[in-house]
Amino acid sequence: MISQKMQEAINAQINEELFSSYLYLSMSAFFEDMSLTGFANWMRIQAQEEQFHAMKFFDYLSERGGRVELLAIEKPEKNWPDIVTVFEETYKHEQHITAKINELVSIAADEKDYASGNFLQWYVGEQVEEEAAASEILEQIKFLGENKHGILMLDREFKSRTFQPPVEA
Ligand code: OFO
In the chain, what percentage of residues exceed pLDDT 70? 98
Question: Per-residue pLDDT tens for 136-152?
Answer: 999 999 999 999 999 99
- Determine the distance separating the centroid of ligand 1 and the alpha carbon of 51, expressed in angstroms: 9
Banded model confidence at residue 76, pLDDT cuts 50, 70, 90: very high
Say yes or no to pLDDT of 169 above 90.
no
In the chain, what percentage of residues exceed pLDDT 90? 96
Of ligand 1's listed atoms, the one at least distance from the Cα of 46 is 1
Mean pLDDT for 142-168 is 93
Mean pLDDT for 42-69 is 98
Residue type for position 74 = E
Q: Are 158 and 37 in contact (CB under 8 A)?
A: no
Mean pLDDT for 16-23 is 98
Q: Which of 18, 20, 124 to mutate to test the pocket of ligand 1 (most atoms within 8 A of CB)?
A: 20
The pLDDT value given to residue 167: 65
What is the C-alpha to C-alpha distance for residues 89 and 59, in angstroms, rounded to an integer? 29
Average pLDDT, the chain: 97
Of ligand 1's listed atoms, the one at least distance from the Cα of 20 is 4
94 lines ligand 1 (CB under 6 A): yes
CATH no. for 4-158:
1.20.1260.10
Segments making up each domain of the chain, as ranges:
4-158
Say yes or no to pLDDT of 29 above 80.
yes
Say yes or no to pLDDT of 105 above 60.
yes
Q: Are 99 and 132 in contact (CB under 8 A)?
A: no
113 lines ligand 1 (CB under 6 A): no
Q: Which of 90, 130, 135, 137 to mutate to test the pocket of ligand 1 (most atoms within 8 A of CB)?
A: 130
Three-state DSSP string of the chain: CCCHHHHHHHHHHHHHHHHHHHHHHHHHHHHHHCCCHHHHHHHHHHHHHHHHHHHHHHHHHHHCCCCCCCCCCCCCCCCCCCHHHHHHHHHHHHHHHHHHHHHHHHHHHHCCCHHHHHHHHHHHHHHHHHHHHHHHHHHHHHHHCCCHHHHHHHHHHHCCCCCCCCCCC
The pLDDT value given to residue 168: 61
Mean pLDDT for 147-161 is 97
Say yes or no to pLDDT of 65 above 90.
yes
